[in-house]
A and B are shown apart, each in its own frame.
Chain A
Amino acid sequence: MRPAVAHTTLFSYLVTRPTGRTVRATVERQIADAGRTVLAVLDLRHVPVIDFSCADEIVAKLVLLASDASTHRSFILFRGIAEHHLGPIDSVLRRRGLAAAAESTDGEPLLMGALDPGATAVWREIWSLGRTGVSPLADRLELPLDRVRGLLDDLVARALVIRDGERYVSLHHALLDAGPTSPAPTDLRDP
């Protein structure tokens, strides 16, 4: 399965709930308009401040949408996450028991929010391998196959990895695999 990629680059101060709702509505529209599975990529590199209200409206509610199996399937990857974004985002996700896949400003993988250590280890391994199956993961992590399958089911349900037949793909790998941006990035300078 190769999802369509929808890029959104954010520039302004992400403060207040109405601002957050506007940004989220734009991303939700991109997902709905695609008519197929979408990997939505939100770049926060140029965001000087994100407050708790806005983080809840954008990050937590988009992650909720992605992990809702009854809606159109979507995955969310946050990029350009700096130290000052982490506090509010991590806090709003933990409050709702959610986790989100992200990449720091240095390109390092970040798992934000609440996830148990076993699932976190599997997620990191998939990020580093890009695309892999259950057996190689079980070998590398020295865990029983059934345990790894259970953890993978959890990661798929949370939309933190993409299942492609018997293989599991990191959101980062899916982004690289998609090649040049399609559709054109949305630039939200003044949401």
Chain B
Amino acid sequence: MSRVVRVPERLDESSFETLVRRVRSEGNPKARLLLDARSVGWVSPYGLIGLLAVGQEARLRTGLPPLIEPPRDSEVRSYINRMRFWPAAAQVFDLKQLPKPSLEISDALIEVTTIRSHEDVHSVVEGVRDRAQRILHDRLGYPRPAVIHFSIMLSEVCQNILEHANSIGWVCAQRYRWQRRLGRDVVVLAVMDVGVGFQGSLGAEHARRYGERWSAAAALEAAFLRGESRFQDPGRGQGLQAIRSQIIKWNGAIRIRSGDASIARVPDWDEGAPLSTNLPRFPGAQVLIVLPERVESERT
């Protein structure tokens, strides 16, 4: 007997919390999960790989490959097919039938990609250059060197999965228009895993020092704000610091969710709390990066 969890109609970083809450609270947690995505009418890159993360978490917890009912909406179906969601989903879900690969050329910056090894990180970073040039420089007005800075950011955030999560993960990036929130185009980069998370990764090295104050929020603050890592080697922990500093330079946003907390760099154009706690607990780390189109005064 499967337990059915309905996926929110609009699936992004905000409604991902609803989905996680539903998965944690509805039905028998040991039963096979069936994600009902039939009514999904819009999905962001974060939402797309969020489905994989939720599926993988259920698979690891129950030992049973979960099921998924695809969206009915033809545009959404076409979009997730173009984003190569299904090949990645086939490694997580029990799919009765894999949809035929899309023949349409994707306009994504990075289609859904599974990160299992450092070779996968190389492949993503080396493959992104031309698209990053076209999207970041030509469309969003970033200076040419931004393509290299973006590649470095991508490399560091994907390595985080392998170095700290002890698990597979996924990456996906897309340009689209944030008309209501910003009135500009943005690039949204999402990276997720369901591994040990920041609290688990940093725990052996730092938990004793924090005592009872040790928590997912404390671990996120240690890594994100102070560059602490699970290693004693002073060379470690720089990747996340470098990402944060680059995002500040670009006036972008980053939010890292891990365990029951999230930490963010909130730019002036966005709302939201720099630190959130008491979120529905979810393993691993889920990273959202938003790079806004450069306005005319920023392009010089």
User: Which chain B residue has the least Cβ–Cβ distance from A13?
Assistant: B126
- B239 interface residue per 8 A CB criterion: yes
Partner of A49, one of B125, B163, B235, B236: B125
CB pair A17–B125 under 8 Å, yes or no, is no
A49 to B149, CA, bound (A): 9
CB pair B125–A56 under 8 Å, yes or no, is no
| B277 / chain A contacts, CB cutoff of 8 Å | none
CB pair B155–A60 under 8 Å, yes or no, is no
CB pair A88–B242 under 8 Å, yes or no, is yes
A51 to B155, CA, bound (A): 7
User: Which chain B residue has the least Cβ–Cβ distance from A60?
Assistant: B235
Q: Report the interface size for chain A: residues with CB under 8 A from the other chain.
A: 24
- A48 interface residue per 8 A CB criterion: yes
CB pair B235–A95 under 8 Å, yes or no, is yes
| B152 / chain A contacts, CB cutoff of 8 Å | 15, 49-52, 87-88
CB pair A19–B122 under 8 Å, yes or no, is yes
CB pair A83–B145 under 8 Å, yes or no, is yes
Partner of B118, one of A19, A60, A96: A19
Partner of B125, one of A13, A52, A83: A13
- B148 interface residue per 8 A CB criterion: yes
| A17 / chain B contacts, CB cutoff of 8 Å | 118, 159, 163
Tell me the B217-247 residues at the A interface (CB within 8 Å): 234-236, 238-239, 242
- B156 interface residue per 8 A CB criterion: yes
- A132 interface residue per 8 A CB criterion: no
CB pair B148–A84 under 8 Å, yes or no, is yes
A84 to B235, CA, bound (A): 20
| B129 / chain A contacts, CB cutoff of 8 Å | 48
User: Which chain A residue has the least Cβ–Cβ distance from B121?
Assistant: A16
A-B contacts at CB below 8 angstroms, number: 70
A120 to B155, CA, bound (A): 32
Q: Chain A CB within 10 Å — which of B121, B126, B155, B163 has the most?
A: B155
- B39 interface residue per 8 A CB criterion: no
CB pair A53–B122 under 8 Å, yes or no, is no
CB pair B156–A51 under 8 Å, yes or no, is yes
User: Which chain B residue has the least Cβ–Cβ distance from A57?
Assistant: B235
Question: Closest CB-CB distance, A58 to chain B, in whole Å?
Answer: 11
A17 to B118, CA, bound (A): 9
A96 to B234, CA, bound (A): 7
- A92 interface residue per 8 A CB criterion: yes
- A91 interface residue per 8 A CB criterion: yes
A98 to B72, CA, bound (A): 58
| B238 / chain A contacts, CB cutoff of 8 Å | 52-53, 56, 91-92, 95
- A18 interface residue per 8 A CB criterion: yes
When each residue 128-159 of chain B gets 1 if its CB lies under 8 Å from chain A and 0 otherwise, what string results?
Answer: 01000000000000000100110110011001
Partner of A96, one of B149, B151, B235: B235
A17 to B117, CA, bound (A): 12
Q: Indicate whether A15 sits within 8 Å of B235 (C-beta atoms), given known contacts A49-B148, A49-B151, A91-B242.
A: no
A84 to B145, CA, bound (A): 7
A17 to B163, CA, bound (A): 9
Question: Closest CB-CB distance, B207 to chain A, in whole Å?
Answer: 24
| A48 / chain B contacts, CB cutoff of 8 Å | 129, 148
| A91 / chain B contacts, CB cutoff of 8 Å | 238, 242
CB pair A16–B235 under 8 Å, yes or no, is no
| A87 / chain B contacts, CB cutoff of 8 Å | 149, 152
Pick the 9 closest A-B CB pairs, nearest first. Answer: A56-B235, A15-B155, A51-B155, A16-B118, A84-B148, A51-B152, A52-B238, A49-B151, A18-B118
Interface residues of A (CB under 8 A from B): 13, 15-19, 48-53, 56-57, 60-61, 83-84, 87-88, 91-92, 95-96
New contact pairs (17) apart from A17-B118, A17-B159, CB-CB < 8 Å: A15-B155, A16-B122, A16-B155, A48-B129, A48-B148, A49-B152, A51-B155, A51-B156, A52-B156, A53-B155, A53-B156, A61-B235, A84-B148, A87-B149, A87-B152, A91-B242, A92-B238
List, sorted by A's number, 22 A–B pairs whose CB atoms are closer than 8 Å.
Answer: A13-B122, A13-B125, A15-B122, A15-B155, A16-B118, A16-B121, A16-B122, A16-B159, A17-B159, A19-B122, A48-B148, A49-B125, A49-B155, A51-B152, A51-B155, A51-B159, A53-B156, A53-B159, A60-B235, A91-B238, A91-B242, A96-B234
